[in-house]
Every structure is written in C-alpha cells, then in structure tokens.
C-alpha cells in the first residue's frame, strides 16, 4: 500500500518539496525533514546570536558614547563651576581689599580728628591756665581796689556770697 504524502519543510531560504511514495521513502523523508529542521534551527540560532551580538555591540557602543558624553558634560560643568568659583574668589578678594581700604581711610580720618581734638584741648587748657593766671595776678595786684562782679572798683556789694568773700579775704 503506497501512501503518498507531501511534507513541506519549514520555511527556509530555498523551500524543498519532498514526495513520499513508500514507507521507506517516508522514513528517509522524515530523516531529511529532521535534518532540514535542525539546519534551519541552527541557522535561526546563528542569525539570532548574530543579531543579539549586533544589538549588544550597538548597546555597548551607545553606552560608551553616552558615558563619554556624560563624562565630557560633567567635566565641562566642573570646569565652569571652578571658573565661577575663581571669579567669586577674585571678586571677594577685591571687595575685601576695597572694604579694608575704606576702613583704613576712616581710621586715618578718625585718628586725624582725635589728634585735632587733642590739640584743641591742649590749646584750650593752655589758654584757660593763662586766663586764670591773669585773673589771679589781677586779683593780687588789685587787692587794694577790689573788682565788683560788674567789673567796677569798690568791692563786692552785700549780695556777694559769704564764701566768696571769705576766699577773697574780705570778710572780717
């Protein structure tokens, strides 16, 4: 009994049709079919591995490129940050110098003002001492003619305080 079956191989680059007329042909056809299936599986596996390797290679290349870009951006940002920090340091140093210069000028002005006031005080004390000496000499020289508070000779009137009269020696 002859059974004729046609078995189609899975899609392959070159499709092959096998005609089977006998059981022996079926057995060899099955072996041939198994061989073709194994070959196709190996080809598919190799193609998948090649494609996987290609995808992995592209992914690695992309990862390396992204890593390099990230590193370059990080270095650029770091460089920019350092430049800005240096500029801020320079501005701070300039501002500090300016402030210290202003403070030194103010200190010098205050020292000059203090010295001017000390000079004024010395001169004022000297003039005051001179004035008091002149007044004492005037009192000593004019003891025969006492001076009234209004500057008139003739002594103090009765309204002068007793303590002032005792100091001047007019109280008897």
Q: What is the pLDDT of residues 61-92, one digit of tens each?
A: 999 999 999 999 999 999 999 999 999 999 99
**Sequence-separated (6 or more) residues with CB below 8 Å from residue 15:** 8, 9
Instruction: Give me the long-range contacts of 88-94 (CB less than 8 A, separation at least 24).
Output: none
Tell me, yes or no, whether 171 lies in a domain.
Answer: no
The answer to whether residue 80 sits within a structural domain is: yes
Lookup: tokens for 47: 């193609």
List CB contacts of 21: < 8 A, sequence separation 6 or more. 2, 3, 4
pLDDT digits (tens, 9 = 90+) for 95-126: 999 999 999 999 999 999 999 999 999 999 99
* Residue 132 in domain: yes
Q: Please report whether residue 42 resides in a domain.
A: yes
Please indicate, yes or no, if residue 159 is contained in any of the structural domains: no
Owning domain of residue 121: 5-140
Say if 152 falls within a structural domain: no
The single-letter DSSP state of residue 142 is T
Q: Is residue 103 part of a domain?
A: yes
113 in a structural domain: yes
Cross-strand bridge partners of residue 18? 7
- Which helix (H) or strand (E) element contains residue 146? none
How big is the chain, counted in residues? 172
How many separate domains does the chain show? Answer: 1
Q: The pTM is what?
A: 0.40
How many H helices and E strands in the chain? 2, 2
Rounded to whole angstroms, the Cα distance separating 17 from 27 reads 15
């Amino acid at each position: 009994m002859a059974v004729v079956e046609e078995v189609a191989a899975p899609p392959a680059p070159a499709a092959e049709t096998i005609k089977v007329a006998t059981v022996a042909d079926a057995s060899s056809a099955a072996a041939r079919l198994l061989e073709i299936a194994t070959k196709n599986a190996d080809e598919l596996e190799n193609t998948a591995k090649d494609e996987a390797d290609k995808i992995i290679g592209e992914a690695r290349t992309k990862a390396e490129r992204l890593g390099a870009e990230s590193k370059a951006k990080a270095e650029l940002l770091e460089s920019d940050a350092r430049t800005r920090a240096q500029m801020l340091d320079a501005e701070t140093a300039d501002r500090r110098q300016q402030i210290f210069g202003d403070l030194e000028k103010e200190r010098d002005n205050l020292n000059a003002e203090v010295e001017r006031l000390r000079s004024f005080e010395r001169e004022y004390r000297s003039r005051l001492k001179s004035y008091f000496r002149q007044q004492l000499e005037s009192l000593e020289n004019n003891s025969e003619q006492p001076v009234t508070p209004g500057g008139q000779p003739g002594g103090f009137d009765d309204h002068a305080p007793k303590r002032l009269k005792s100091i001047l020696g007019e109280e008897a």
